[in-house]
């Protein structure tokens, strides 16, 4: 009789443990499938590379770092075409054909494309807004999707873009 009770307790304990594992696995799967917020700040050096990409247009290269939720500290390399809608540096501009890569501390990467706009510079500073969309990932970010917006300012006196990042990432 004591053996049957012991076996029943073991069977009940095993059933409870298996149920807990199943619930944990379902929760982990559901959590992994959910988009996660990406927020943070970036600081990039900005400079034309001397190439043109059309009339009143210049290729701009950007390089710097940021700290973003879901990614941690990242190194960023980017380039785009700044297409002024009037006199260069004296009118608004479209930002087109942007490509960027984000490299995390563990070596994982995200590739993005982007476009946006910038305002007329006032006292050497202009406002910029770009929308970025993830196109590829490597390492722990392989298969990731998502996108974010960067809003910030570029100070032409220092050549620095400082921006706030908001969006989402689905690993």
- The percentage of the chain sitting over the pLDDT mark of 90, rounded to a whole number, equals 77
Per-residue pLDDT averaged across 105-117, rounded? 98
Report the largest interatomic distance among the alpha carbons of the chain, rounded to a whole angstrom. Answer: 95
Picking from 80, 5, 71, 7, the residue whose alpha carbon sits closest to that of residue 40 is 71
On the 0-12 / 13-18 / 19+ scale of CB atoms within 10 A, 31 is exposed
* Predicted local distance difference test score (pLDDT) of residue 29: 43
Q: Residue 125 — left, alpha, or beta (φ > 0 → left; ψ -120 to 50 → alpha)?
A: beta
**pLDDT category, 28, cuts 50, 70, 90?**
very low
* Predicted local distance difference test score (pLDDT) of residue 88: 84
pLDDT score of 10 more than 60: no
Would you say 149 and 37 are in contact if contact means Cβ atoms under 8 Å apart? no
Which CATH number, 3.10.620, 3.40.50, 2.40.350, 2.60.450, labels domain 35-170? 2.40.350
pTM: 0.80
* Predicted local distance difference test score (pLDDT) of residue 9: 64
Per-residue pLDDT of 85-102, as tens digits, reads 998 888 999 999 999 999
Q: Could you give the CA distance from residue 15 to residue 63 in angstroms, rounded to a whole number?
A: 55
């Amino acid at each position: 009789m004591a053996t049957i009770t012991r076996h029943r307790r073991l069977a009940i304990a095993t059933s409870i443990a298996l149920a807990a594992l199943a619930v944990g696995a379902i929760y982990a799967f559901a959590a992994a499938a959910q988009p996660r917020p990406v927020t943070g700040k970036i600081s990039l050096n900005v400079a034309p590379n001397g190439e043109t990409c059309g009339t009143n247009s210049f290729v701009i290269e950007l390089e710097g770092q940021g700290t973003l939720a879901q990614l941690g500290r990242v190194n960023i390399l980017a380039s785009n075409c700044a297409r002024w809608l009037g006199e260069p540096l004296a009118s608004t501009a479209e930002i087109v054909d942007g490509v960027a890569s984000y490299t995390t501390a563990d070596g994982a990467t995200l590739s993005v494309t982007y476009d946006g706009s910038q305002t007329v510079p006032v006292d050497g500073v202009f406002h910029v807004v770009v929308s970025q969309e993830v196109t590829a990932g490597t390492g722990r970010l392989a298969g990731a999707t998502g996108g974010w917006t960067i809003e910030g300012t570029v100070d032409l006196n220092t050549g620095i873009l400082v921006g706030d990042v908001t969006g989402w990432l689905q690993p």
